[in-house]
């Protein structure tokens, strides 16, 4: 239940939901507009359709999330905030089948017990798409630099000075030089410009991927029509829209698998795929939980 007429909302979470684990489920919490405050609160600016964006602070409590907004919210803005918070923490995602599957596995039972498996995402698929392009072929520090530059330069500013993630229209209005010189996106600059233009014009609708009836293979092909989105980025996005029958192997996962499961010996992708194949349509999520287990120990 939630009260949308005040600046504070309480949103119930599903049984077993683990706030810290979801918050730090992967690196997104470390990229603007997300900001970790005092180690246990997620701050972020949300564009809720009003004259100015709103900063919200989300903190985990027993059985729910406490959401504080920077300004008094009307009913419509409050509903938007709740929708976005539910979306980014995946509160409506049904994981019972996954937990039943891993619960019967001696090595993966902890996943269900600990409430793992909810991957933090952005309020829009568009934001996840842009960020995914910015994670490719570079260090994490460069990804942070690019995202920080983009948000700092183009994001709408809230009352407290924090900025929202820019929408496709704002991004499409910038020349490729902006992405090269300000965002420092290098060869990705043309890709980002083209992506923003295609989304702003309606040629591509990333939000539709959330409810697409295409098979995972077909949706993957659709995602890869975006320049800058290859196998890894597409599969990462598939996970973020709730398709877990892909692995999204990158150099970090390959290295981690080698250390955790391969006894330090090099493993090719087929071996990694075989290892998680017993989890069927949930193999990508099982892989991610397995590779990040030590983050929370």
Partner DNA sequence: GCGTCCAGGTCTACC
Partner DNA sequence: GGTAGACCTGGACGC
Question: In the complex with DNA, which residue's Cβ is closer, 99 or 232?
Answer: 232
Which one of the spans 32-40, 122-130, 141-149, 195-203 is the region binding DNA (CB under 7 A)?
Answer: 141-149
The binder of DNA chosen from 14, 27, 242, 262 (CB under 7 A): 27
Using the rule CB under 7 A, is 152 a contact of DNA?
no
* Shortest Cβ 74–DNA spacing (Å): 36
CA nearest neighbour of 143 among 36, 28, 25, 238: 28
d(CA 127, CA 139): 19
Q: Under rule CB under 7 A, how many of the chain's residues touch DNA?
A: 32
Which one of the spans 5-13, 108-116, 198-206, 227-235 is the region binding DNA (CB under 7 A)?
Answer: 227-235
The binder of DNA chosen from 226, 246, 272, 285 (CB under 7 A): 226
- Given CA atoms 198, 204, 205, 210 in this order, what sign does their dihedral have? negative
* CA atoms within 13 Å, Cβ hemisphere of 205: 7
Question: In the complex with DNA, which residue's Cβ is closer, 159 or 221?
Answer: 221
CB-count burial class (<10 Å; 0-12, 13-18, 19+) for 60: buried
Site string for DNA, 232-271 (x = CB under 7 A): xxx-x-------------xxx-------------------
Using the rule CB under 7 A, is 125 a contact of DNA?
no
Q: State both tokens at 171.
A: 């991004």
Which one of the spans 63-71, 95-103, 104-112, 133-141 is the region binding DNA (CB under 7 A)?
Answer: 133-141
Using the rule CB under 7 A, is 137 a contact of DNA?
yes
Which one of the spans 53-61, 95-103, 132-140, 199-207 is the region binding DNA (CB under 7 A)?
Answer: 132-140
Q: Which residue has the tokens 């702003």?
A: 200
Using the rule CB under 7 A, is 138 a contact of DNA?
yes
d(CA 69, CA 79): 12
Site string for DNA, 32-71 (x = CB under 7 A): ----------------------------------------
Residues of the shown chain interacting with DNA in the complex, contacts defined by CB under 7 A = 26-27, 135-142, 145, 180, 184-188, 191, 224, 226-234, 236, 250-252
């Amino acid at each position: 239940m939630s009260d949308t007429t005040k600046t504070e909302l309480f949103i119930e979470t599903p049984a077993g939901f683990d706030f810290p684990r979801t918050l730090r489920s992967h690196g997104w919490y470390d990229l603007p507009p997300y900001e970790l405050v005092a180690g246990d609160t997620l701050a972020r600016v949300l564009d809720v359709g009003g004259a100015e964006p709103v900063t919200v602070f989300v903190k985990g409590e027993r059985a729910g999330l406490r959401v504080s907004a920077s300004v008094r919210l009307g009913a419509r803005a409050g509903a938007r905030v709740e929708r976005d918070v539910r979306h980014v923490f995946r509160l409506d995602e049904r994981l019972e089948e996954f937990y039943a599957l891993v619960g019967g596995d001696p090595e993966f039972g902890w996943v269900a017990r600990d409430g793992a498996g909810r991957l933090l995402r952005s309020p829009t698929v568009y934001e996840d798409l842009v960020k995914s392009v910015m994670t490719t072929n570079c260090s994490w520090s460069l990804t942070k630099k690019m995202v920080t530059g983009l948000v700092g330069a183009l994001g709408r500013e809230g009352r407290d000075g924090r900025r929202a993630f820019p929408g496709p229209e704002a991004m499409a209005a910038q020349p490729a030089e902006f992405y090269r010189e300000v965002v420092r996106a290098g060869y990705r600059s043309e890709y980002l410009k083209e992506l923003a233009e295609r989304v702003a014009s309606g040629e591509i609708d990333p939000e539709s991927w959330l409810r697409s009836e295409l098979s995972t293979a077909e949706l993957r092909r659709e995602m890869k029509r975006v320049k800058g989105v290859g196998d890894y980025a597409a599969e990462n996005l598939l996970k973020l829209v709730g398709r877990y029958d892909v692995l999204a192997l990158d150099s970090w996962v390959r290295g981690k698998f080698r250390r955790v499961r391969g006894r330090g010996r090099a493993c090719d992708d087929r071996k990694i795929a075989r290892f998680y194949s017993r989890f069927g349509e949930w193999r990508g999520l099982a892989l991610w939980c397995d590779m990040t287990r030590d983050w929370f120990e």
